[in-house]
Amino acid sequence: MSIVAAKSDRSNASVWVALVLLILGTFGAYSVVGLNQALLFLIGGALGMTLYHASFGFTSSWRVFLNERRGRGLRAQMIMLALAVLLFFPALGAGELFGQSVQGNVSPVSMSVMIGAFIFGIGMQLGGGCASGTLYTVGGGSARMVITLIFFCLGSLIATTHLQWWFDLPHFAPVSLVTSLGVVPALLLNFVIFAVIACLTVYFEKKRHGSLEVEKASTHQGWSRFLRGPWPLIWGGIILTLLNFATLALAGRPWGVTSALAVWAAKSASLLGVDVASWAYWQIPANAKALSQSLWFDITSMMNFGIMLGALLAASLAGKFAPNLNIPKRSIIAAVVGGLLLGYGARLAYGCNIGAYFSGIASGSLHGWLWLVFAFLGNAIGVKIRPFFFPNEKPQATTLTGC
């Protein structure tokens, strides 16, 4: 059997595996918890498929800009955020959406956010992905990213042993631009900032290359392109925003990722005999409940499982599901170190590129902007360190693959 035929057979089999697991997960969530949980699980699946087919990588977009001054990925993020605030701010200002009470991801403006985001930014480049990127590349068949995910969880757990010390560092109370300024002024301010960032990427890209990068044409069109990809980057940003808004409507709060990774690690440690429940972090009512309850009840966990299965389905439909266990030693070390930094940094910063950056800014939280600044600085350091672990890596000026 040829390599191509074997790869095709593997992808065909994994399509059915993904579909069966998505169906079982949906019915399981519905029977154990209820309709909302089942729908959130399916939203997770749609997020995974979108992330994979659009190759919507936060990490790669930042790396490409830092190395090559190509800003297509960053501009897509600004469009995504602009649509997000347009949808989120009126709902958060009203305090309800479709009759359900909603609240944003609004967290303190603090040193822990600055330090955590900076650490997370370095981890993004070493681990090879952000929070959403780690999940969708694992689902897409990346064996290396499984290592990143394991140590991402471990880093999250380590942070919970002394997290309050970080939170007690100098900080200001949470600041909501929606509450402080009002919906319309907050929208206008955010639109101006998004436009300035987008214009800066255009300026630096034209200065370096003379023209803006054009997205490569797809070999698939119509329904075939929807199923097999790749999707235009802008499509990805718009769909991610709509799915985040659907999450707000169903869960009463925006999309998040990393809180579940700490729960997974804590449950695993408990099974190994570690008395995690006695730690101060896990005695906070919400965290204690997440630790004691089945994962069926944890919204973030169910959405994360959906993301991985959605990415598995997308990779399989694209004929690209082909796990490779031949991972260079330096790459493994980078995955371990990067994963630990990602997990540790996310807990300090009240979230990751999704919970703090995407959903934080969409919520009008000032800490989301603080996260962006310091995570970008961390990425700049990570990009400088990255060649030691990936000595043969080629520039990514013409494509954004993975996270």
* pLDDT 10s digits, 180-202: 999 999 999 999 999 999 999 99
Nearest-angstrom CA–CA distance, 385 and 277: 37
Look at residue 220 and tell me if it is in a domain: no
DSSP state of 22: H
| Closest to 354 in 3D by CA, of 244, 246, 261, 278 | 244
> Which residue reads 């790669």 in tokens?
60
Q: How many structural domains are present in the chain?
A: 1
pLDDT confidence tier of residue 8, bands split at 50, 70 and 90 = low
Radius of gyration (Cα) for the chain, nearest Å?
20
Q: How far is CA 363 from the centre of its chain?
A: 16
Look at residue 19 and tell me if it is in a domain: yes
Look at residue 293 and tell me if it is in a domain: yes
Q: Quick count: other Cβ atoms within 10 Å of Cβ 201? A: 21
Nearest-angstrom CA–CA distance, 240 and 80: 8
Take residue 178 and report the two structure tokens written for it: 């929606």
Bridge partner list, 365:
176
Look at residue 394 and tell me if it is in a domain: no
Look at residue 395 and tell me if it is in a domain: no
Q: What is the pLDDT of residue 244?
A: 98
pLDDT single digits (tens) 60-106: 999 999 999 999 999 999 999 999 999 999 999 999 999 889 999 99
Q: Whole-prediction pTM value?
A: 0.93
pLDDT confidence tier of residue 10, bands split at 50, 70 and 90 = low
Look at residue 368 and tell me if it is in a domain: yes
Q: What is the pLDDT of residue 228?
A: 81
Take residue 280 and report the two structure tokens written for it: 């101060």
Q: How far is CA 338 from the centre of its chain?
A: 15
Take residue 90 and report the two structure tokens written for it: 């009126």
Contact by Cβ (8 Å): 306, 41: yes
* Averaged pLDDT for residues 283-307: 97
Q: What is the pLDDT of residue 227?
A: 81
Look at residue 401 and tell me if it is in a domain: no
Q: What percent of the chain has pLDDT over 90?
A: 85
The dihedrals phi and psi of 101, each to the nearest 5 degrees, come to -65, 135
Contact by Cβ (8 Å): 30, 114: no
The mean pLDDT value of the chain amounts to: 92
pLDDT of 397 > 60? The answer is no
Contact by Cβ (8 Å): 322, 141: yes
pLDDT of 160 > 60? The answer is yes
Take residue 332 and report the two structure tokens written for it: 């493994």
Nearest-angstrom CA–CA distance, 50 and 226: 10
Look at residue 334 and tell me if it is in a domain: yes
| Structural domain that includes position 262 | 3-213+229-389
